[in-house]
C-alpha cells in the first residue's frame, strides 16, 4: 500500500518536547497523533529519560517504520552528542543515560531546540497525551494576541472520557500550601470564560504548555532540583511580573494522567507522586515566600495525621520522608521509594 506523498519540508518554528520514561507505547501514540497537526513547521524532540527497559529501541523502531514511511526523517542522539547538535530532522530522540526527571528531560529537549535560532517557541507535551490537528495552532494564536504572554496552556480532557475536562489551568496559594485545577469536571460545552480563567490561574497545566523563546531566554530553563512536580509553578513565578500566562480554550489535549508514575485523580496518589508533591510544595514556599514555610509544614503534619486515621501507615511514612528531607536539605531523584531501603540522598540546589 502506498504511503502517499512525502510531506513538504518546512523550516521549524515550534519545537515539541516530550519526555519518555518506561512508557514507549504511550509516547508512540502521542507521536502518531502529532502526525496530523495542522502546523507543518514543527520539530519533535523526545528525551528517552534513562528508562533502561528498551524504550529507546522501541521508539527508534517506530521512527524507522511508520514515521519513515511518511517521508519524515529522524535521528538518535546520546546526551553527550548535544553540544554541537541542532534539531535538523523532523524527530530527534535523545537517549539520556539516566533519569533526569520531568524538568531535566525537558531541558535537554529545550536546549537542543533553541540551538536553532528559527525556533520561536517550545511546546512541552506529556508523553501520555494525544492531540487534535488544531491543538498547537490554537496555542500559537492565543500567545500571538498578547506580547507579554510567556507560557500558554491547553484544555486537558480525560483520555478515557473525552467529554470531561481534567483541567484548563492551575490555581496555587503558597501561603496555604494548597491549590487545585480550574475547570476540572466541566465539559467542553460548559467551560468558564477565558477571561475568568486567566484572572485566577497561577500556572498552566504542565501536560501541555507552549513557552515562547523570549520567555525561556529571559527566565532560563526549568528548575531541575524538583525532579517531579511544581516545575511549572516555579517557572511561572520566575517569569513574573515581566511575563503573563494564558489559556487557549480551543487547544484540546487528551490526557491519560499519570501514566508513567502510576497515579491519577481517582485515588490516593502513588508513593512517588505523593512524596514529590509534598516535598516540593515546601521548596516552593522557601524559594518564593519563606514566611509561609511554617504553615506549609503544619499542612504536611495534618496530611500525615489524615493518613494515620485511615490506617495508611505507608502514607504517613512518605509524608515524614518529605518533611525530613526538606528540613535536612536533602534532594532525591528517581523512584527511590520503590526500594525497601532508600539510598543516601544526594545534595541538590537550595
pLDDT digits (tens, 9 = 90+) for 42-58: 999 999 999 999 999 99
Those residues with Cβ within 8 angstroms of residue 104's Cβ, 6 or more apart along the chain or in another chain? 49, 224, 227
Query: Measured between alpha carbons, how far is 213 from 219 in angstroms, rounded to an integer?
Result: 10
Q: Above pLDDT 70, what percent of the chain?
A: 90
DSSP string, 45-72: EEEEES--SSHHHHHHHHIIIIIHHTT-
pLDDT on residue 350: 30
- Find out whether 151 and 204 touch, Cβ atoms under 8 Å: yes
Query: Measured between alpha carbons, how far is 214 from 104 in angstroms, rounded to an integer?
Result: 20
- The domain locations on the chain are 14-255, 271-338
Query: Measured between alpha carbons, how far is 250 from 115 in angstroms, rounded to an integer?
Result: 30
Query: Measured between alpha carbons, how far is 8 from 346 in angstroms, rounded to an integer?
Result: 48
Query: Measured between alpha carbons, how far is 306 from 247 in angstroms, rounded to an integer?
Result: 34
> What's the gap between Cα 55 and its chain centre?
19
Match domain 14-255 to its CATH number in 3.90.550.60, 3.40.50.2000, 1.10.10.10, 3.40.50.300: 3.90.550.60
Query: Measured between alpha carbons, how far is 3 from 293 in angstroms, rounded to an integer?
Result: 58
pLDDT on residue 338: 52
Label residue 291 exposed, middle or buried (CB < 10 Å: 0-12, 13-18, 19+): exposed
Which stretches in the chain have pLDDT values below 50? 1-6, 8, 264-265, 339-350
| Helices within 225-309 (DSSP H only) | 231-239, 271-288, 293-309
- ∠ CA(217), CA(220), CA(222), 5° rounding? 135
pLDDT on residue 267: 67
Query: Measured between alpha carbons, how far is 158 from 166 in angstroms, rounded to an integer?
Result: 6
pTM score, whole prediction:
0.91
- ∠ CA(47), CA(50), CA(56), 5° rounding? 65
Amino acid at each position: 500500500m502506498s504511503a502517499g506523498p512525502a510531506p513538504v519540508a518546512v523550516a521549524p518554528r515550534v519545537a515539541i518536547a516530550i519526555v519518555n520514561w518506561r512508557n514507549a507505547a504511550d509516547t508512540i501514540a502521542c507521536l502518531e497523533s502529532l502526525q496530523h497537526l495542522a502546523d507543518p513547521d514543527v520539530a519533535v524532540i523526545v528525551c528517552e529519560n534513562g528508562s533502561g527497559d528498551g524504550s529507546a529501541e522501541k521508539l527508534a523502531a517506530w521512527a524507522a517504520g511508520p514515521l519513515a514511511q511518511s517521508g519524515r526523517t529522524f535521528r538518535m542522539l546520546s546526551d553527550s552528542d548535544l553540544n554541537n547538535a541542532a534539531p535538523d530532522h523532523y524527530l530527534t530522540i535523545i537517549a539520556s543515560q539516566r533519569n533526569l526527571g520531568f524538568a531535566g528531560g525537558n531541558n535537554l529537549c529545550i536546549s537542543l531546540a533553541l540551538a536553532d535560532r528559527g525556533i520561536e517557541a517550545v511546546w512541552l507535551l506529556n508523553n501520555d497525551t494525544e492531540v487534535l490537528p488544531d491543538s498547537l495552532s490554537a496555542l500559537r494564536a492565543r500567545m500571538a494576541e498578547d506580547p507579554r504572554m510567556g507560557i500558554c496552556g491547553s484544555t486537558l480532557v480525560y483520555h478515557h472520557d473525552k467529554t470531561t475536562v481534567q483541567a484548563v489551568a492551575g490555581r496555587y496559594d503558597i501561603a496555604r500550601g494548597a491549590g487545585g485545577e480550574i475547570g476540572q469536571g466541566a465539559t467542553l460545552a460548559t467551560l468558564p470564560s477565558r477571561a475568568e480563567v486567566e484572572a485566577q490561574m497561577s500556572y498552566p497545566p504542565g501536560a501541555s504548555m507552549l513557552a515562547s523563546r523570549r520567555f525561556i531566554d529571559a527566565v532560563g530553563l526549568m528548575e531541575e532540583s524538583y525532579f517531579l512536580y511544581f516545575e511549572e509553578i516555579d517557572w511561572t513565578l520566575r517569569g513574573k511580573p515581566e511575563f503573563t500566562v494564558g489559556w487557549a480554550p480551543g487547544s484540546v489535549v487528551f490526557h491519560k494522567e499519570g501514566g508513567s508514575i502510576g497515579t491519577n485523580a481517582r485515588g490516593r496518589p502513588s508513593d512517588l507522586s505523593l512524596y514529590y508533591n509534598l516535598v516540593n510544595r515546601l521548596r516552593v514556599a522557601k524559594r518564593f515566600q519563606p514566611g509561609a514555610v511554617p504553615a506549609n509544614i503544619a499542612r504536611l503534619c495534618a496530611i500525615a495525621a489524615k493518613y494515620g486515621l485511615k490506617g495508611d501507615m505507608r502514607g504517613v511514612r512518605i509524608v515524614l520522608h518529605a518533611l525530613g528531607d526538606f528540613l535536612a536539605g536533602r534532594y532525591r531523584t528517581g523512584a527511590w521509594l520503590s526500594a525497601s531501603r532508600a539510598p543516601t540522598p544526594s545534595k541538590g540546589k537550595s
